Structure formats: structure tokens, C-alpha cells
């Protein structure tokens, strides 16, 4: 058997084909960079070209994430006083899947009217709680804004915290994301429907008047951006999502690990371009964007792929004063005071 030529067939085939093929990953990466519709170099755009880009991005997100509309029902659960603010706990029932996502309206003291801000959770073992507790990396921003006089709504991450098998703490993200992708859906679709329903609930509250904003850190920043793109009534966004690309143009196949976080997979959207272009579609709405200086990935990619592009596009639309950039000294965290100051000015 040791003399059988079949045992060496692998080596023989390799010797024959090695100069005629490339690794599949290298081919796919090169294909993406060659075939995407939009690239960094396309920006800034003229007003008419930008309008086409914005419409393409928003319609693509709408068709992917909410092709059948919201299909949500909001159920009132309980209201409790908590110090100087009131918590109004509700459930968003996302149909037809039937997932019930907790949301919490945080209302400031008194009975007067207030501007509204929707607050979205980043990755966490207990996402909703992080939006309410000031010592979390999400800075309890929903409660902090309420204490500053805003009416807010905090939205649970549907694979985290109150909605996981471990009950109260943990994450079922890979299991849920892979299940939904196999089903022909994606996590972001369910999450965005809950996020949009939360905005509707906030705007319908009798104490909320005028325009509303959206804010989040990490994944929450991406949720804030995409929710705002799908609901034009959101007038201002504070986005502290990680400022990274899926596939920077200088990334080598040997260094590429794919999309490590399955909840960021939006099937087909990357045909338009890398994810750094999604927030560009918000212009000329008010935008505070940034990251932490101690976040190495964002620090490396934010300046060329985010700040410069956004600053240039806002300027090209005659709205340079509507874009602000903030780098705080922390890591992947939310800086509460700059966010509060931003919404005081923007709303």
C-alpha cells in the first residue's frame, strides 16, 4: 500500500494547480473591494449624487430589515417611581416571531413636557440594566438623560439580559443569530423593529413634544444610526458605536477573521459598501459621533474612514455645523456629559 500512487495524489494535484488558483478567501476579498457600489473615494458627493446614495442606503435597509412594516404590539406592564424619575415598563411584542422585548420609559420629575431620546443597548451580559445603571459602560444613559430633563426609552437587546436562557444575565447571540440566518432572517431585523416601536411609544407619550433623538454605544450606536435612517422623525443622533470597517482595503487574507459578531451580519447590504458608509446617510441631520481613545481598533480606523468622510460630506451639503466629533479618554464606553450637552443643543 505504501507504494500506491493514490496516496500521493494530493501532492500531485497541488503541484499541478498551485500556479492556476488562488485561495478562495483572497478571491472573495478582492471581489468585494472591486464590486461594491460605493467606496470611501466617492465622498464627498454633490447634493444630487448624495441624494441618490442616501435613498439607496435607506431603501436597502428598509427592504432588508422591515419589509413588512413594524408588526409590533406594545403592552403596558407597570410604572414605578425611582428617586427623581419614573420608570414606565412595557413590552414590545415583535410579530410574527412573538419575541417580547422589554422597554423602559424613563420620565423626568414633574408633569411638564420634555424632549425625547431613544437609548439603545450595546453588547453586554445585561443590556437593558446597563442603560439604567450609571456605573455601567453604557453609563446608565437613559436615567442620566431623564435626570437632566429628557424623556427617554431604553430598549433591551433581544439576545441579552432579561431575554436569555440564564435569566437576567448572559448572551444567546450566536445561537439566535445563526438560527435566524438559517431561517432567512437576521437578528438586526427583530431588534430594529423593537427599536422603531420604542420610538413610536416615546413620541406618543403625552409628556413628549418636539423632535426626538437616539443614542447608543458599541452595537447601540449602530442601532441608533439605523433606527434614525428608518425613522426621519429622529432629528439628532449620538453615535458611539465602534468606528471600524469589516474589510479595510489594506487587510490581507492572512489577517482576516471574517465578521466576528454575527448580529452585525445584514445579508446583502455589504454589496453597497463597507459599514463605515452607513452613518454617512444621516446627513444633514444633527450627528455627534466619536469613540474612546483607548479603543485601539476605532482609534486606528476612525479618522480616515469616519470623521474625514462625515466632515467632508456635511460640509459639501452646507451643513458643517451639524456634525460634531468627540474622542473621550475611555475605551468602548459612552461619555454621558457630552451626550447630554449635545441633545440639549440639538433638540
pLDDT tens, 12-67? Answer: 888 889 899 999 999 999 999 999 999 999 999 999 999 999 999 999 999 999 99
What digits encode the pLDDT tens for the residues 306-318?
A: 999 999 999 999 9
Residue 3 reports pLDDT greater than 90: no
What digits encode the pLDDT tens for the residues 253-283?
A: 999 999 888 899 999 999 999 999 999 999 9
**Domain assignment present for 242:** yes
What digits encode the pLDDT tens for the residues 156-203?
A: 999 999 999 987 789 999 999 999 999 999 999 999 999 999 999 999
Instruction: Report the SS3 class of residue 63.
Output: helix
Which range of residues forms the domain containing residue 330? Answer: 24-346
**Domain assignment present for 7:** no
**Domain assignment present for 265:** yes
Burial class (CB in 10 A: 0-12, 13-18, 19+), 201: buried
Residue of 156, 154, 146 lying closest to 207 (CA atoms) = 146
What digits encode the pLDDT tens for the residues 144-163?
A: 999 999 999 999 999 999 99
**Domain assignment present for 8:** no
For the chain, how many structural domains are there in total?
A: 1
- Please tell me the distance from the alpha carbon of residue 198 to that of residue 343, in angstroms, as a whole number: 18
- Please tell me the distance from the alpha carbon of residue 70 to that of residue 171, in angstroms, as a whole number: 25
pTM of the model: 0.95
What digits encode the pLDDT tens for the residues 70-120?
A: 889 999 999 999 889 999 999 999 999 999 999 999 999 999 999 999 999
**Domain assignment present for 1:** no
**Domain assignment present for 317:** yes
- Please tell me the distance from the alpha carbon of residue 285 to that of residue 107, in angstroms, as a whole number: 25
Residue 133 reports pLDDT greater than 70: yes
- Find all residues with CB under 8 Å of 161, minimum gap 6, and list them: 121, 124, 125, 126, 127, 128, 129, 168, 169, 170
Residue-level pLDDT at 261: 87
Sheet holding 208-217, edge to edge: 72-82, 85-94, 99-107, 151-155, 114-120, 208-217, 234-240, 286-292, 323-328
Q: What is the radius of gyration, based on Cα positions, of the chain?
A: 22
**CATH number of 207's domain:** 3.40.50.1820
How big is the chain, counted in residues? 347
Record the cell numbers describing residue 209, joined without a space: 413634544
Amino acid at each position: 500500500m505504501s507504494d500506491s500512487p493514490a496516496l500521493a495524489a494530493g501532492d500531485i494535484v497541488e503541484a499541478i494547480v498551485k500556479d492556476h488558483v488562488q485561495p478562495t478567501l483572497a478571491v472573495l476579498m478582492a471581489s468585494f473591494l472591486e464590486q461594491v457600489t460605493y467606496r470611501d473615494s466617492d465622498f464627498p458627493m454633490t447634493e444630487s449624487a448624495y441624494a441618490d446614495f442616501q435613498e439607496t442606503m435607506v431603501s436597502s435597509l428598509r427592504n432588508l430589515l422591515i419589509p413588512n412594516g413594524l408588526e409590533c404590539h406594545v403592552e403596558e406592564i407597570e410604572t414605578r417611581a425611582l428617586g427623581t424619575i419614573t420608570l414606565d415598563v412595557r413590552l414590545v411584542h415583535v410579530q410574527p416571531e412573538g419575541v417580547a422585548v422589554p422597554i423602559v420609559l424613563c420620565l423626568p420629575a414633574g408633569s411638564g413636557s420634555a424632549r425625547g431620546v431613544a437609548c439603545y443597548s450595546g453588547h453586554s451580559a445585561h443590556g437593558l440594566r446597563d442603560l439604567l445603571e450609571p456605573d455601567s459602560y453604557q453609563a446608565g444613559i437613559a436615567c442620566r438623560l431623564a435626570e437632566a430633563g429628557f424623556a427617554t426609552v431604553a430598549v433591551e437587546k433581544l439576545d441579552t439580559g432579561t431575554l436569555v436562557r440564564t435569566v437576567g444575565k448572559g448572551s444567546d447571540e450566536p445561537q439566535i443569530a445563526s438560527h435566524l440566518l438559517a431561517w432567512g432572517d437576521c437578528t438586526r431585523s427583530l431588534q430594529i423593529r423593537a427599536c422603531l416601536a420604542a420610538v413610536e411609544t416615546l413620541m406618543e407619550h403625552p409628556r413628549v413634544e418636539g423632535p426626538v433623538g437616539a443614542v447608543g454605544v458599541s452595537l447601540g450606536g449602530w442601532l441608533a444610526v439605523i433606527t434614525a435612517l428608518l425613522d426621519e422623525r429622529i432629528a439628532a443622533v449620538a453615535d458611539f458605536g465602534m468606528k471600524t470597517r469589516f474589510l479595510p482595503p489594506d487587510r490581507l487574507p492572512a489577517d482576516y477573521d471574517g465578521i466576528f459578531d454575527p448580529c452585525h451580519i445584514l445579508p446583502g447590504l455589504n454589496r453597497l459598501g463597507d459599514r463605515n458608509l452607513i452613518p454617512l446617510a444621516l446627513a444633514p441631520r444633527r450627528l455627534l459621533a466619536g469613540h474612546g481613545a483607548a479603543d485601539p481598533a476605532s482609534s486606528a480606523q476612525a479618522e480616515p474612514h469616519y470623521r474625514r468622510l462625515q466632515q467632508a460630506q456635511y460640509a459639501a451639503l452646507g451643513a458643517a455645523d451639524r456634525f460634531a466629533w468627540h474622542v473621550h479618554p475611555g475605551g468602548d464606553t459612552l461619555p454621558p456629559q457630552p451626550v447630554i450637552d449635545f441633545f440639549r443643543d440639538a433638540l
